[in-house]
Chains A and B, each alone.
Chain A
Amino acid sequence: MSATDHVELSSSSAAYGPDNPAPVIEPPRARTKRTPRSTRTNFEMYGWLFMRLSGIVLVVLVIGHLLIQLVLDGGVTKVGFAFVAGRWASPFWQTWDLIMLWLAMLHGGNGLRTVINDYAERDNTRFWLKMVLYTATAFTIILGTLVIFTFDPNIR
């Protein structure tokens, strides 16, 4: 049998026998009687709903944004300080950009949180990856909101 031949050749595994079986490969985060601990919140449900609803709104906001910025009226060449200043003079575009910023960051952040939960197997890795993600999301949202509200077209 080829399996046994292979084993006899390798010195490290030669010691395995009925009294000394090789370690089995455990799947990541296997369920036991004690896990998972119940949290009894609706957070995951609201997260799931938020992803669906914000996704629908973002389709309109982002495609509209891309059309205005990149396609209509001369495309990307027209975008400059004056163009941005002109658009943010109107509360409509301020609101548009503010909603887009918040929804896109939270939508993307929650999506990445899901990916991290799925694929980061070690508890520490998962925790720190999520901390980095939350920090980056919060920073971008705060900075963006600050800029939209305090934007001064006469800045020198």
Chain B
Amino acid sequence: MSTATLDKVEAEAQASPYITVTFRIRRFNPEISDEATWQDFELEIDPKERVLDGLHKIKWDMDGTLTFRRSCAHGICGSDAMRINGRNRLACKTLIKDINPDKPITVEPIKGLTVLKDLVVDMDPFFQAYRDVMPFLITKGNEPTRERLQSAEDRARFDDTTKCILCAACTSSCPVFWNDGQYFGPAAIVNAHRFIFDSRDEGGEQRLEVLNDKDGVWRCRTTFNCTDACPRGIEVTKAIQEVKRALITRRF
């Protein structure tokens, strides 16, 4: 009896947690070629680790030219949004065991933005749309001498959209944005929503006016790609529809 238990413990200790995973990465280097190519990397990795750990292993031990963005590596900074197995996710929040490591794991840059190198895209148009919705508190009159207080209910009204980390996973999953970069995109609308429904803010009307324009919320086709892509679980499509509803109820 005791030997059996001992054997089991020994067997577990000997069994390596590592498995062999193939990373199929979309490489693009304008200093070498004008074409992007797929490159396979095989690596030994614990399936409980994340895709970002795999990318680190490749960059640090196999091919230092692999280029990607990451800062905090814990799902807060929103730097490492990429298309993993055809879906926009954060590499630092995607466990390898959750995305079927038996097949090659494809890693691509997010779509709809200019690829500069490998997995790095030009985020300028994305942040321009963010700036265009005025994502800051707008108030009239004198500044209060203490904090701008707010009831718990008022805070809850826009709680969902405060979670945005501006990773661009939603905007770069939107088929309208892929075809027309003039569309504000879900992320900008989410951040407008955060202030439009904030009881302390008085610039809601201006933001609604911006989003009422031809490249605003009316271009949303409710495909729900953004809600599926959001790594923070924000109900993005719902937020966009709430802005639409606010626009309609404001007019009639």
A18 interface hit (Cβ, 8 Å): yes
Please indicate which of the listed interface residues B27, B34, B35 has the most CB atoms of chain A within 10 Å of its own CB. Answer: B34
B137 interface hit (Cβ, 8 Å): no
Instruction: Please give the number of chain B residues whose Cβ is less than 8 angstroms from any Cβ of chain A in the complex.
Output: 40
Closest Cβ neighbor of B111 among chain A residues: A27
Which residues of chain A from 1 to 40 have any CB-CB distance to chain B below 8 Å in the complex?
A: 1-4, 6-7, 10, 13, 16-18, 21-33, 35-36, 38-40
CB pair B29 A3 closer than 8 Å: yes
Cβ of A45: which chain B residues have Cβ within 8 Å of it?
A: 212, 218, 247-248, 251
Closest Cβ neighbor of B112 among chain A residues: A27
A16 to B129, CA, bound (A): 33
A6 to B30, CA, bound (A): 14
Output the least CB separation between A18 and chain B (Å).
5
Known contacts A40-B213, A47-B218: A29-B180 contact under CB 8 Å: yes
B244 interface hit (Cβ, 8 Å): yes
Which stretch, A77-85, A99-107, A115-123, touches the partner chain B? A115-123
Closest Cβ neighbor of B172 among chain A residues: A27
CB pair A31 B125 closer than 8 Å: yes
User: What number of A-B contacts does a CB cutoff of 8 Å give?
Assistant: 106
A128 interface hit (Cβ, 8 Å): no
A90 interface hit (Cβ, 8 Å): no
A22 to B31, CA, bound (A): 6
CB pair B31 A36 closer than 8 Å: no
The one of B33, B37, B215 in contact with A36, judged by C-beta atoms closer than 8 angstroms, is: B215
B182 interface hit (Cβ, 8 Å): yes
Output the least CB separation between A108 and chain B (Å).
17
A139 interface hit (Cβ, 8 Å): no
Interface residues on A, range: 35 or more
Cβ of B203: which chain A residues have Cβ within 8 Å of it?
A: none
B168 interface hit (Cβ, 8 Å): no
B114 interface hit (Cβ, 8 Å): yes
Output the least CB separation between B44 and chain A (Å).
20
Cβ of A121: which chain B residues have Cβ within 8 Å of it?
A: 179-180
Known contacts A27-B114, A31-B182, A117-B219; 7 further A-B pairs (Cβ under 8 A): A2-B39, A3-B33, A22-B31, A29-B182, A38-B210, A39-B213, A45-B218
19 sampled A-B residue pairs with Cβ under 8 A: A2-B37, A4-B32, A7-B32, A10-B33, A16-B34, A17-B31, A21-B31, A23-B30, A24-B114, A25-B114, A28-B181, A29-B181, A31-B129, A32-B128, A38-B210, A38-B213, A39-B213, A44-B212, A117-B180
Question: Taking beta carbons and an 8 Å cutoff, which residues of B are in contact with A?
Answer: 27, 29-35, 37, 39, 63, 112-116, 122, 125, 128-129, 132, 176, 178-182, 209-210, 212-216, 218-219, 244, 247-248, 251
Give the top 9 A-B pairs by smallest Cβ distance, nearest first: A22-B34, A21-B30, A44-B218, A22-B30, A30-B181, A7-B33, A31-B125, A30-B125, A48-B218
